Amino acid sequence: MGKLWSGRFQEKTAKIVESFTESISFDKRLWRYDIAGSIAHAQMLGRQGIISREDSEKIVHALEKIACEIEAGKLRFREDLEDIHTNIETALVKKIGAVGKKLHTARSRNDQVALDLRLYLRAEIGQIESLIKHFQQKLLDSAEKHIDAIMPGYTHMQRAQPLLLSHHLLAYVEMFQRDRERLTDTLKRVDVLPLGAGALAGTSLPIDREYVAKLLGFNSVAENSVDAVSDRDFAIEFLADASILIMHLSRMAEELVLWSTEEFSFIELPDAFTTGSSIMPQKKNPDVAELIRGKAGRVYGSLISLLTTMKGLPLSYNRDMQEDKVPVFDAVDTVKASLSVFGEMVPRIRFNKERMSDTASAAYATATDVAEYLVRKGLPFREAHEITGRIVLHCIESRKNLNDLTIRELKRFSPLIEGDVHKCLLAEDSAKAKNSRGGTSPSQVKKQLKRLRGLLNS
């Protein structure tokens, strides 16, 4: 079979043009979706009497055989056939002759490729959601395992207030929950059937788009044929979701890199997920976390790439849109690989709970608790804040921690301070006291754990 458009042309396509314009090198991964769409289309053509039922059945049977051949690696894709659609159609015609040429009735590669990409993304979004959920479960397990461990919380990368390690881990579970919800919502825009739009104007043949949608499991049908072939919003939206997701992974990776340093010494990463140095024998490098941090830029690049491709395109289909698939494919692969490796690594991290607790108790991390103690004694918060600031300054000058101060020393700053202030000075007591909804107290963290388990099990 020659070029699909050869009837109008007198010259053969130049070899350099074939190499430049081919997409089979990357869109071959759409083969199973292309065949699924073609089978549904053939069944609809037969049902509507546009082609005979006998021809429809021949086409479907041949496509199923082609699928088996591709799965087994027996079908060689050809660059001169340009894309996955033409490669499969050529294989079909080779199998069943002229009957195979009837498959493309009432469709164009424009609506065909839009269908393939939607089917692909629909499947991949489901897999990514499962990987996120698996990772969330691992984080919840780790939080439950270390339910009472104390660590310093940070703002501006300065020690701020004591936290439960479990509370800190649950912050990431919340982030990834939003990622899952975003992907689920995006799925509504992905799950729209474009097939039947033809090149851009629809068809004069009596097709049944609702039937095709039913066969392929789509919830809705694109209502405007021009929009159906020119829309890539769904792919851009997916890439935006993927960018936010990889950003969350990158933030966590950054913390793991920091926490594994000698300066922090909060964690030890498993040997199996680190590497050494070619020259320094003592090194244990957090390469997995660093690579995930680096791959964030790669996913961002995919989003910017497709946004830039689409920003100046007039309606409807333009060949520029062939550039949609590589960024989508790469983002899917990158996100799935990052989630998979993190999901395996995080449960094996060893937390240095003693070091974390000691650090949480230093640097006047309970100063806010002293200020709130004075508020409970009747002082306005601004006055309590100022008094506590002077107490901290005194500690710095005398090289003492807050819990080293005697009541006599503390009373110099406010006569309201009594012996019960010592309940505010320990990191453990500070964390326990944060019992507001969503706070870091053990009782609140247990409520969060229960709620998040429920979300994952629903």
Q: Supply 188's token pair.
A: 């509504």
pLDDT of the residue at 428: 92
Q: Tokens representing 83?
A: 């894309």
Catalytic residue among 6, 19, 277, 398: 277
Radius of gyration of the CA atoms of the chain, in A: 30
The one-character DSSP state at 267 is: E
Spatial separation of the C-alpha atoms in residues 193 and 214, rounded to whole Å: 10
User: CB within 8 A of 431, min separation 6: which ones?
Assistant: 150, 162, 163, 164, 167, 440, 441, 442
Which of 149, 243, 169 has the alpha carbon at shortest distance from 452? 169
| pLDDT digits 0-9 by tens, 314-356 | 999 999 899 999 999 999 999 999 999 999 999 999 999 999 9
What's the pLDDT tens digit per position in 211-267? 999 999 999 999 999 999 999 999 999 999 999 999 999 999 999 999 999 999 999
For residue 21, the model assigns a pLDDT of 72
Dig out the tokens for 164 from the structure.
Answer: 């439960």
Domain residue ranges of the chain, discontinuous segments joined by +: 6-105, 110-121+177-207+222-357
Q: How far, in Å, are 286, 347, 367 from residue 270 at the CA level?
A: 9, 10, 36
Residue 45 has pLDDT above 90, yes or no: yes
Q: What span, in angstroms and rounded, lies between the C-alpha atoms of 153 and 139?
A: 18
Mean pLDDT over each residue of the chain, to the nearest integer: 94
Residue 83 CA: distances (Å) to CA of 24, 28, 86, 148, 320: 4, 7, 6, 57, 15
pLDDT average, residue stretch 38-56: 98
Distance from chain centroid for Cα 442: 30
Q: How many CA atoms lie within 13 A of 163 on its CB side?
A: 19
Q: pLDDT at position 83, please?
A: 93
Parallel/antiparallel/unpaired status of strands 220-221 and 192-193: parallel
Nearest to 115 by CA among 90, 140, 84: 84
Helix axis angle, 53-71 to 84-96, nearest 10°: 120
Backbone angles phi, psi at 343, to 5 degrees: -60, -30
Q: Which residues pair with 151 in a beta bridge?
A: 163
Tell me what pLDDT residue 213 has. 98
Q: What is the mean pLDDT of residues 60-70?
A: 97
**pLDDT tens per residue, range 167-202:** 999 999 999 999 999 999 999 999 999 999 999 999
Helix axes 442-457, 165-190, angle to 10 degrees: 30
61: annotated active-site residue: no
Percent of the chain with pLDDT over 90: 85
Q: How far apart are CA 114 and CA 198, in angstroms?
A: 11
CATH of 6-105, one of 3.10.350.10, 3.30.10.20, 1.10.1060.10, 1.10.275.10: 1.10.275.10
pLDDT at 350: 97
Predicted confidence (pLDDT) at residue 375 exceeds the cutoff of 70? yes
Domain 110-121+177-207+222-357 grouped into CATH 1.20.200.10: yes
| Least confidently predicted of 1-10, 303-312, 368-377 | 1-10
In total, the chain counts a number of residues equal to 458
pLDDT for position 8: 62
Concatenated DSSP letters of 267-303: EE--GGG-B--SS-TT--B-HHHHHHHHHHHHHHHHH
Residues 273-299 have pLDDT tens digits of 999 888 988 889 999 999 999 999 999
Global pTM value: 0.93
- Given a contact cutoff of 8 angstroms between Cβ atoms, the answer to whether 318 and 310 are in contact is no
Residue 1 has pLDDT above 70, yes or no: no
Q: Which of 102, 31, 118, 113 is nearest to 72 (CA)?
A: 31
CA distance 211 to 247: 40
Q: Could you tell me the two tokens for 375?
A: 């508020």
Residue 5 predicted with pLDDT over 60:
no
Q: Are 199 and 277 in contact (CB under 8 A)?
A: no
Q: Token pair for residue 241?
A: 């979701």
Q: Does the annotation mark 156 as catalytic? A: yes
